[in-house]
Amino acid sequence: MENGFVDCHCHISAQEFEQDLDDVIKRTTQAGVKTLVAVTEDQREFDRVLQLKKSYGALIAPCFGVHPLQSDGGPDKRSVKPQDLEAALPYFYQHSEELVAIGEIGLDFTPWFAPSEQEKDDQMKVFVQQLEVAKELNLPVNVHSRSAAKVTISTMKEQGVTGALLHNFAGKLSVAFDGIKAGYFVSFPPAVCTNPQVHADVLFYLVVKTIKLPFYLQKVKLIKQIPLEHICLETDSPALGLNKHERNEPCNIGLVCQYIAQIKGLSTETVQFVTSQNAQRLFTKINQL
């Protein structure tokens, strides 16, 4: 694959892009993005992402997944139930040749989404079943792990998963390294770039000297200490942009690249090249697109 950005986790099939998708795609390619790893959250998106693959060719790398949080048509989310996966399962096998990963899947134990053990148990059942599908189809997984990073990683290890992207990772550094030892990758969206002008040396001082870090500096610590060979770039667009009130787009991936380069004291060219190589190692089928 020609060198360029790989957005390892975006929702290009989301409704937010339907009205001006051609313009979004144009800005995406102009920004140097060569591949969009297009995750889905439920069966309703599957046909849409496959149609985008037909329309935009190798730019779109489709994934099928049932997210740990589901919507019943309105703005509110609820914890996933096993029946949400049942109808979707045949599609994974029918379109396995077109998929580069299973995702977005995972666990979300945020208290208001999973207030009881029943919700957590249901999420775990859906997650494990999709991990089994991924192993059957020899595909990596694109994983959500909010408020559940440790149990998400331990579950994947127990299930023998060898290829995984921990998207928008926000767990502890020790938990991240547990995943890295298993061969997993970690990615960060533009939302981490809260203050891109802060000098890397100052950030490093804060990371080392501060015992209890605020959320923003926890992300800095992760980026600083996780080896670049285990980092990928993502936008999670249309969410997790610089401004939470504005639609995020894949063209913003360069912001994450610059930010990681600054924190690590590397050139943006190095970060772009290594993270793209990482993406191709994880999502091996994008090399065939």
- Residues 9 and 39 sit within 8 Å (Cβ to Cβ): yes
DSSP state of 18: S
d(CA 112, CA 53): 36
In a domain, 90, yes or no: yes
**How far is Cα 29 from Cα 85, in angstroms, rounded to an integer?**
34
CATH of the domain at 244: 3.20.20.140
pLDDT at 155: 98
The pTM score is: 0.92
User: What is the CA 54 to chain-centroid distance, rounded?
Assistant: 23
- Would you say residue 175 lies in a domain? yes
User: Which pLDDT score, from 0 to 100, does residue 2 have?
Assistant: 56
Percent of the chain residues past pLDDT 70, beyond the cut: 91
Is 215 part of a structural domain of the chain?
no
In a domain, 142, yes or no: yes
Given a cut of 60, is residue 173 above it in pLDDT?
yes
**What pLDDT shows up at residue 214?**
54
Read off the pLDDT of residues 241-272 as tens digits, 9 standing for 90 and up. 998 889 999 999 999 999 999 999 999 999 99
pLDDT in tens, 69-126: 999 877 789 999 999 999 999 999 999 999 999 999 999 999 999 999 999 999 999 9
pLDDT digits (tens, 9 = 90+) for 152-167: 999 999 999 999 999 9
Domain assignment of residue 96, yes or no: yes
| C-alpha dist (Å) from residue 240 to 10, 81, 133, 193, 267 | 10, 26, 28, 10, 24
Query: What domain range includes position 34?
Result: 5-191+230-260+268-288
pLDDT band at 216 (very low <50, low <70, confident <90, very high): low
Whether 63 shows a pLDDT value over 70: the answer reads: yes
The answer to the question of residue 237 being in a domain is yes
The number of folded domains in the chain is 1
Q: Is 218 left (phi over 0), alpha (psi -120 to 50) or beta?
A: alpha
Per the domain annotation, does 205 fall within a domain?
A: no
Summarised one tens digit per residue, pLDDT across range 125-159 is 999 999 999 999 999 999 999 999 999 999 999 99
Is 199 part of any domain?
no
